[in-house]
Amino acid sequence: MYERFKHAGLVMEIDKETHRIVDVEFTFITSLASNYFSKLLVDSNFYDELDEIIERIKKNFIAPSQQSVIVALKNAHQRYCDEIEK
């Protein structure tokens, strides 16, 4: 997918009080895959559970774009942590 679109990204809705992922959508994946990721990530604590989220993806999403998804999540996590720790 990355080769086709040259962009890998995600949009997340996160409850800032609980750090729980409310909704997530990947911008470069089919709607079926995006719905699947939503099921994997929704209700996870994005602040404290990044390693668990990544392991869940590694175990359940076997595809060439797996690493792109993980990189996008790590980047989003860093931005999120920077923002809430201000």
User: Rounded to whole angstroms, how far apart are CA atoms 49 and 32?
Assistant: 24
Distances (CA, A) of 13 to 3, 7, 72: 27, 20, 15
Q: Tell the CATH topology of 2-84.
A: Enolase-like; domain 1 (3.30.390)
pLDDT of 86 over the 70 cut: yes
The secondary element (H helix, E strand) that includes residue 66 is helix 66-84
In tens, the pLDDT along 26-77 reads 876 678 887 888 899 999 999 999 999 999 999 998 877 788 889 889 999 9
Q: What is the pLDDT of residue 6?
A: 52
Cα 15 from chain centre? 15
pLDDT at 2: 47
Q: Which two tokens stand for residue 75?
A: 């980047």
